[in-house]
Structure 1
Amino acid sequence: MSLSPLYNLSKLKYFDGLDNEIYAEEYDYSLSPKFQLESISLSSRGQGGGAFPKFLYHQFSLQSLDLIDIQIKGEFPNWLIENNTYLHDLYLENCSLSGPFLLPKNSHMNLSLLSISMNYFQGQIPSEIGARLPGLKVLFMSGNGFNGSIPFSLGNISSLQVLDLSNNSLQGQIPGWIGNMSSLEFLDLSGNNFSGRLPPGFDTSSNLRYVYLSRNKLQGPIAMTFYNSFEMFALDLSHNNLTGSIPKWIDRLSNLRFLLLSYNNLEGEIPIRLCRLDQLTVIDLSHNHLSGNILSWMISTHHFPQQYNSYDYMSSSQQSFEFTTKNVSLSYRGSIIQYFTGIDFSCNNFIGEIPPEIGNLSMIKVLNLSHNSLTGPIPPSFLNLKEIESLDLSYNKLDGEIPPQLTEIFSLEFFSVAHNNLSGKTPARVAQFSTFEESCYKDNPFLCGEPLPKICGAAMPSSPTPTLTNNEDDGGFIDMEVFYVTFGVAYIMVLLVIGAVLYINPYWRRAWFHFIEASINNCYYFLVDNLPILSKF
């Protein structure tokens, strides 16, 4: 429907048309509404739109404007901010706006929330944005084509609590002054082209709670420190080129819920202090060069604490991270992440056995320990993982039987123990396990039973001694390259020892030569005596 039938309602102050197909037609330009709205929310459900709604040219008392998903096209309507000096909330997400981002000519003191995400803006973020919009508390500019660097004037907005510049083409180094913004709680710079090192630290007055810096080109060690660390809820540094080890100060982040360090070049062992973070719900250390033993973990089952104000709520609703679930990388966003728990230590160099305490994480949804060098059995305590949906233990050196009690986990949707040294019979084809195919068990030489082609025989030992294999990735018990090298070295050492003994002891040397001469003569007469017989055949 068109808004034109409402134009005669002179006392109309608030209009909410979200989740409908309410819009302003272009020919309404000649009509001047009698109302002066204070708040309006419209949507078009993706319908093709034209110019900006013309009736807004006549509005001067707006305090809140929400035009999310209206396909308006054109440039940013800076006149809208200039005409409405009381405007404090402006939502223009996914409106197909393009061109440069235009600021009002004069400073607007009341605008506290500006959201222009998911448009087609290009060029640099205006350098004077901090001076023109000094009252901003929330700024969403993600999913555009902004380039250049972060304007220094943003650091002068003392009230800024939420800053989301993700998924643009911003570049350069992350400015150090960001850590001095005392009101900033939510920072998302992911999906850009930032390079160089991480900011060295954050000021003692910093209230940062969510830091997302993934999918950039950041380098060097994780040298940044958080002085007011108990406030930190989320730290995402994944998909960069970070080196060095996991810092020992990580245990200061006592309230940390999400720790994402995957797809970097981190090495060394997991600091034992990391186990002190008993509020963690998601930890992803995959695709690094970490080594040593996997430590025992306690994954928190508590939800996020109650949010205190609207800006906290806005920041939590904008949270997002990537996590591999069921062998697929998925993006988790918004309130659903409050109920998600997972551990991903895959694609590292971890050794030793799987700690049985991990089986006590009864609320965990995802556990991925694949592509390591873990040994020993699958802990029977995994029976307690009643909520798990994805369990990946493939590409290790695990041995023993698969605990048959795992069939009692009815939430399991993805399961893989392929490429190990497991033996015995596969779990019964019941419940969820009736859906798992041969690929979930393949390349375990001593494993038998459906869905594998090998049928279990009565005489087959349950835990045979592993035999040789020439494929280390297939979980072989002996590395054939190491075997050949050690055999050759031992062979050469034996020859050297025999030669040394013969050189030192003349009696043994004469006896050796006499033995060789006698052996040659015996072979010669043996052939002469038997040659006529052999010629007959």
Structure 2
Amino acid sequence: MKGEFPHWLIRNNTKLYALYLHNSSLSGPLQLPIHSHVYFSDLDISDNYFNGSIPTEIGVCFPSLNSLNLSGNGLTGGIPSSFGKMSQLTELNLSRNGLTGGIPSSFGKMSQLIKLDLSNNHLSGIIPQELIVGCSSLHELILSNNSLHGQIFPKQANCKELSRLLLDGNQFTGSIPYSIANCTMLAMLDVSDNRLSSSIPGWITNMTILQILDLSENNFFGNIPSSFGPPFISEVYLSKNRLQGPLMNAFYNCFELTILDLSHNSFTGRVPEWIGNFPKLNYLLFSHNNLEGLDLSCNNLTGKIPTEIGNLGKIQVLNLSHNSLTGLIPQSFSNLKQIESLDLSYNNLNGSIPQLTQLNFLAVFSVAHNNLSGKTPEMVAQFATFENSSYEGNPFLCGPPLSKSCFSSTLMPRVSEEDKKDHKKDGGFMDMEAFYVSFLTSYAIVLLTIAAVLYVNPYWRRAWFYMIELSLTNLDYFLVDNIPFLFRCY
């Protein structure tokens, strides 16, 4: 639909209570009826081409408005103070417009306001204290992607019903104020992509409802508090800050974690053992830090070892022992040029040991007590220092330092069918067993086909026996003619 806003439709229908014109091609300024319409409660004109400013009389025209969506247009100017007269307003969405100016304090008069979305505009200034104190019923406050600055929350706050606070993509400075601790129902806190600069407050741990915490792309510094993390937290984003120090027991009891992003910081020490305690963890990002080790031993890890671990070129310690890992040792482990300790013992790994003799810093190596087969790595460089204990518990391994010779006829490597497929993909051994079976099967099919043809077709049968008889006759003549000659040669 094209044209201007149909103010006549509202003017001529005094009992109209809702008008939805979203996602059309309406344009021009937003012209409203002159008289007040007490029944009108819902207006959605989002995703059109309206321009100009929001009419200052909108609060007088629609005193009982419950839901207003003006997003996705080209509106400019400020937010009119008449919004403060909408005592029945429960939802206001002005996102994705071109609104400029600040947030008016008249929002604080909307005591029944439940959701306020002013995201994706050009708003500036600070968050009015009247908004945080007066809107006691506010459930969602979304101010993302504007140019707001100052403290993210006033010292006084009365938002006990607030469940979602999204302030990302602004220019807020300072710290996360303690007043947010009063938001006991907060489930999502996103203050990413701002200019906040302080340590991470420990009281966030006491926010028992919090599930999503995003503090990324700020200037937070210092250590993560010990035992940090609310009990039901599922997503934590702390990347691109100035956090440092060891991780210790920071997220020790966060069993609901699905995403943990600690990348682009200055964390030091070893990767903590509690990483293995998260059964729901899907994404774990530790890149661009100064972490030294990766110890995942004594857990319940199953499946194959990811080949991507071979991309951790600066890792120094890798311990995957005492798990239930299966499959092959990845060839990509040959890329771990800085590794000093590699322990894969006490798993169910099979196949052969890849060539790792170029790992010049390797001082500790163990693949003991698996189902590995074939020859041990050549006794050169660092591998010349490893003893029998590095390979024990693998009955089908052979070669030094083991006493079992690789030329023993009783040595039968056990390789699963799935691993044979993996070896074929890597250009490994040929499956001789399958070759013999296919060859004998093909040979039998040829013989049976010839027999069937001779049995069914008399002509071919006579030709077959004639060919056999002719061949035998020629063979007899050959022998008669050449045997005396052979005797004469001697």
2:237 aligns to what? 236
Tell me how far 1:167 sits from its aligned partner: 1.0
Question: Structure 1 stretch 111-120 or stretch 286-295: which is displaced more?
Answer: 286-295
2:272 aligns to what? 271
Query: Does the CA-based 8 Å contact 2:184-2:207 persist in structure 1?
Result: yes
One-letter amino acid of the counterpart of residue 146, structure 1 = L
1:162 aligns to what? 164
Tell me how far 1:158 sits from its aligned partner: 1.4
1:87 aligns to what? 89
1:119 aligns to what? 121
3-state SS of 2:145 partner: coil
TM-score (norm 2): 0.61
Counterpart-to-counterpart distance in 2, 1:193 and 1:371:
38
TM-score (norm 1): 0.56
One-letter amino acid of the counterpart of residue 236, structure 1 = Y
1:287 aligns to what? 288
3-state SS of 1:243 partner: strand
One-letter amino acid of the counterpart of residue 350, structure 1 = I
Structure 2 vs 1, CA of residues 251 and 124 (structure 1 numbering), >3 Å: closer, same or farther? same
Name which of 52, 68, 85 aligns with 1:65. Answer: 68
Aligned length: 352
Tell me how far 1:358 sits from its aligned partner: 10
Q: Which runs of 5+ in 2 are unaligned?
A: 303-307, 351-358, 363-376, 378-418, 430-490
1:303 aligns to what? none
Tell me how far 1:372 sits from its aligned partner: 7.7
Structure 2 vs 1, CA of residues 105 and 120 (structure 1 numbering), >3 Å: closer, same or farther? closer
Structure 2 vs 1, CA of residues 263 and 249 (structure 1 numbering), >3 Å: closer, same or farther? closer
2:436 aligns to what? none
One-letter amino acid of the counterpart of residue 278, structure 2 = L
1:128 pairs with 2:93: no
Name which of 196, 199, 202 aligns with 1:200. Answer: 202
Tell me how far 1:211 sits from its aligned partner: 0.7
Query: Does the CA-based 8 Å contact 1:279-1:299 persist in structure 2?
Result: no
3-state SS of 2:172 partner: strand
Counterpart-to-counterpart distance in 1, 2:178 and 2:79:
30
Query: Does the CA-based 8 Å contact 2:196-2:218 persist in structure 1?
Result: yes
Query: Does the CA-based 8 Å contact 1:377-1:398 persist in structure 2?
Result: no
Matches within 5 A, 1:121-520: 121-153=123-155, 155-202=157-204, 204=206, 206-223=208-225, 225-226=227-228, 229-295=230-296, 349-352=314-317, 355=320, 373=338, 405=421
Query: Does the CA-based 8 Å contact 1:248-1:273 persist in structure 2?
Result: yes
Counterpart-to-counterpart distance in 1, 2:50 and 2:339:
55
One-letter amino acid of the counterpart of residue 106, structure 2 = P
3-state SS of 1:252 partner: coil
Query: Does the CA-based 8 Å contact 1:190-1:213 persist in structure 2?
Result: yes
One-letter amino acid of the counterpart of residue 351, structure 1 = Q
Counterpart-to-counterpart distance in 2, 1:234 and 1:345:
27
Tell me how far 1:374 sits from its aligned partner: 5.0
One-letter amino acid of the counterpart of residue 239, structure 1 = K
**Rg: which structure is higher?**
2
Counterpart-to-counterpart distance in 1, 2:424 and 2:66:
56
2:45 aligns to what? 42
Counterpart-to-counterpart distance in 2, 1:20 and 1:407:
58
3-state SS of 2:141 partner: strand
Query: Does the CA-based 8 Å contact 2:127-2:153 persist in structure 1?
Result: yes
Structure 2 vs 1, CA of residues 282 and 62 (structure 1 numbering), >3 Å: closer, same or farther? same
Question: What CA deviation, in whole Å up to 9, does each residue of 1:139-180 have, x standing for no partner?
Answer: 001101111112325633111111111111111122234334
One-letter amino acid of the counterpart of residue 196, structure 1 = S
1:454 aligns to what? none
Counterpart-to-counterpart distance in 1, 2:134 and 2:258:
36
Tell me how far 1:344 sits from its aligned partner: 9.2
Counterpart-to-counterpart distance in 1, 2:271 and 2:107:
53
Tell me how far 1:398 sits from its aligned partner: 12
Counterpart-to-counterpart distance in 1, 2:79 and 2:335:
49
Counterpart-to-counterpart distance in 2, 1:141 and 1:344:
40
Counterpart-to-counterpart distance in 1, 2:310 and 2:260:
12
3-state SS of 1:15 partner: strand
Structure 2 vs 1, CA of residues 77 and 10 (structure 1 numbering), >3 Å: closer, same or farther? same
One-letter amino acid of the counterpart of residue 189, structure 1 = V
Counterpart-to-counterpart distance in 1, 2:107 and 2:361:
67
Counterpart-to-counterpart distance in 1, 2:43 and 2:193:
32
Counterpart-to-counterpart distance in 2, 1:283 and 1:273:
13
One-letter amino acid of the counterpart of residue 70, structure 1 = N
